[in-house]
Structure 1
Amino acid sequence: MKKPIGEHISVNENSPKYDDNVVKLSGVKNEPFKTSEEAEGVCSVVIVSYKTGEILMDCIRSVLEQNRLHQLILVDNGNSKHTIQLLNEIADNEPKFEIITGHGNVGFSKGCNLGVRRARGEYILLLNPDSILHSNTLDPAIRAFQTHPSTSALTVRMENSDGTEQRGARRNLMTPWTCCVEQFRLDRFAPNHPHFQRLNLNETRPLTEITPVQCISGAFMLIPKKVYLELGGMDEDYFLHVEDIDFCMRIEKMGGSILYLPTVSVTHKRSTSDIYPGIIEWHKARSFCKYFGKHFTKQYPNWALRVLSLAIYLRLLLRLPTITFSWLIGKFWQR
């Protein structure tokens, strides 16, 4: 009889070693993706985890309960010893669950690529470790690909804990101009003008039918494996954040399409990792600057991109005291 997953799992120091489902890497090389035989109509879920916290077990449990799940690959970028012991016990009881560990914190993009190299399903789901799949999430999402065979990627309705639609789950492609519109809410001056559309669309009219969108979040990104390989995977120059937007931009450039499925929902709890948020914001700022430099050097003069980069870092500098104070207060109350 299999042990339940989550807070009911006990850590047994005498547990056996989990060599079958655990891949230990001493180092990471930038190897090209290799095509392999795929199991049709099923999904390989890839979760990249770094100091995620207790919600990771709830996330894993919600995935293992899904139909159409072929394998769940957990890329361990760095978790506590207690978490690793719990993960090992799950791997011992769940043949679909695999762990990749020993490579250190290589970032989200490289972690995703590591997981996809072991994926054997026809579809890849990149899932954040603080996301909870509701019952029967994968089946209708995969069926949407079968009814829309030209689709390159798909997401579902991402919800906050209170059930409201989450910011960033569906959005327009990020450009220097759309960022300005979003930051300064220029859309209020011309709400119906096509050049004054907001970046984030969660506050627009709720969708009720499957709809094309320009950009989705990497918190839940379902992709045919052949599309992922064709695009060369995630750009590993992004350590954390914006890699999902970059991936959507590359889908746009190759003429692909992205769908939003509002009739299926996932709860994304966010900010559960035990990391100083200033570090996360630093990586986010760096990724923004890289993204603009990678995709917009032909459309914007160099001085404009430099000014934009300066503004991004200045905004970070101004926000750091508030971020740090809030983090310290939270740490104090956790004692």
Structure 2
Amino acid sequence: MSAKPAESELAIVVVNFGSSRLLERNLVPIARALPEADVYVVDNRSTSEEAHAVVELAEREGWSALPQANNHGFGGGVNRGVGAARADGKTRYLLLNPDATIGADAVLVLLHAVAGHTPAVAAPRIDDGAGRPWSVGHVLDLSDGATHGRAWAGAHPNARVRRWLTGAVMMINEAAWSAVGGFDEDYFLYWEDIDFSLRVEDAGGRLILVDDVSAVHDEGGTQGVGSPDKRAKSPTYYFYNIRNRMLLADKLMDDRTVRRWAAVSSTAAREILLRGGRRQLLRPWKPVSAAWSGWYEGQRIARARDQRR
């Protein structure tokens, strides 16, 4: 099956932050297997050494390096990468985390999944580095703002939910991008893919889980912060996951939903914190402080909503 015309429309967009070694390991093989696709690496500023390494790698591989003077977050990086790709005439955009890998054949399947002029976003089944399911589609529970996987959704068929796809490996067509204007940069990190998915559906677009092809997302301990528990996440993870739950509610939900999510914010913050395991709480200052700050900012967003109402 020849897919040269579709491949030539493809831009692979990667947002880098201190991960040039992962680009060497993961992105180089993918890009070489798709020679007619163009690669855009947005380097959100971490160090001058890292920025130099990304530029050198891009020059060697024939990619477009987009070094940023500051860290614009994931959504901001995606917007800059896709903006450059659109200026070059590309019409389909594969978002790929530095710690994610996917085969060329799977990419072509995703390309065909978003063919046509209807707004469409597609994602594969994603496993972790140990071969366990990491993402097989997700839902957002509208009753409390919790996120769940497909198994939970199957066990709760009467729950009020919205579907969403992860930005770790996501194929977007030009119609979807144009319909919603890209990613919302207010989130900075986490939940921007949920926001994007919901807005695409609200604009009449399709979310497509292509679970007969797969990718691998191997976080490889990048969230670890020296905790005795290897599952521990960074303070950044806790802050933005907790805060952005209420930010999305404020942006996309009605007043009643905002109030309901705010009322259970403490429970939600605890659940997010415990994703990193209990052993991290042997040294609780950083994780608990970050979780509290995220909760406080979320409550501030809810109060501001009340005042506007």
User: In the alignment, what sits opposite 1:55?
Assistant: 22
Return the alpha-carbon distance in structure 2 between the equivalents of residues 72 and 225 of structure 1: 17
How large is the RMSD of aligned CA atoms in angstroms?
3.4
Return the alpha-carbon distance in structure 1 between the equivalents of residues 22 and 284 of structure 2: 19
Q: Which letter does structure 2 place at the counterpart of 1:107?
A: G
Return the alpha-carbon distance in structure 1 between the equivalents of residues 19 and 59 of structure 2: 21
User: In the alignment, what sits opposite 1:141?
Assistant: 110
Return the alpha-carbon distance in structure 1 between the equivalents of residues 46 and 92 of structure 2: 27
Q: Decide whether the 8 Å contact of 2:13 with 2:96 is kept in 1.
A: yes
Structure 1 pair 319/231, CA: closer, same or farther in 2 (3 Å)? closer
**1:40: how far off?**
8.0
**Structure with greater contact order relative to length (CA < 8 Å, sep ≥ 6):** 1
CA-to-aligned-CA distance 1:123-175 (integer Å, 9 cap, x gap):
011111110122433222212233x76351001111111222214x4112442
**1:297: how far off?**
2.5
User: In the alignment, what sits opposite 2:128?
Assistant: 160
**1:259: how far off?**
0.9
1:207-246 aligned within 5 A:
214-246=163-195
**1:294: how far off?**
1.9
1:140-289 aligned within 5 A:
140-146=109-115, 150=118, 152-167=120-135, 169-177=136-144, 179=146, 191=155, 194-196=157-159, 214-270=163-219, 272-273=221-222, 276=225, 277-289=234-246
- Which SS does the other structure have where 1:166 is aligned? strand
**1:220: how far off?**
0.8
Q: Can you give the 5+ residue segments of structure 1 that lack an aligned partner in the other structure?
A: 1-37, 200-212, 329-335
Structure 1 pair 140/68, CA: closer, same or farther in 2 (3 Å)? farther
1:26-45 aligned within 5 A:
42-45=9-12
Residue 116 in structure 1 maps to residue 82 in structure 2: yes
Q: Decide whether the 8 Å contact of 2:120 with 2:173 is kept in 1.
A: yes
CA-to-aligned-CA distance 1:2-42 (integer Å, 9 cap, x gap):
xxxxxxxxxxxxxxxxxxxxxxxxxxxxxxxxxxxx99852
Return the alpha-carbon distance in structure 2 between the equivalents of residues 315 and 173 of structure 1: 15
* Match for residue 297 of structure 1 among 245, 254, 257: 254
Q: Can you give the 5+ residue segments of structure 2 that lack an aligned partner in the other structure?
A: 226-233, 286-309
Q: Decide whether the 8 Å contact of 1:242 with 1:288 is kept in 2.
A: yes
Looking at CA atoms only, which structure, 1 or 2, has the larger radius of gyration? Answer: 1
Return the alpha-carbon distance in structure 1 between the equivalents of residues 284 and 34 of structure 2: 39
| Larger relative helix fraction | 2
The alignment of Structure 1 onto Structure 2 pairs a total of residues equal to: 268
**1:226: how far off?**
3.1
Structure 1 pair 165/319, CA: closer, same or farther in 2 (3 Å)? closer
Return the alpha-carbon distance in structure 2 between the equivalents of residues 263 and 319 of structure 1: 28
Return the alpha-carbon distance in structure 2 between the equivalents of residues 45 and 327 of structure 1: 39
- Which SS does the other structure have where 2:42 is aligned? strand
Q: Decide whether the 8 Å contact of 1:173 with 1:249 is kept in 2.
A: no
**1:255: how far off?**
1.9
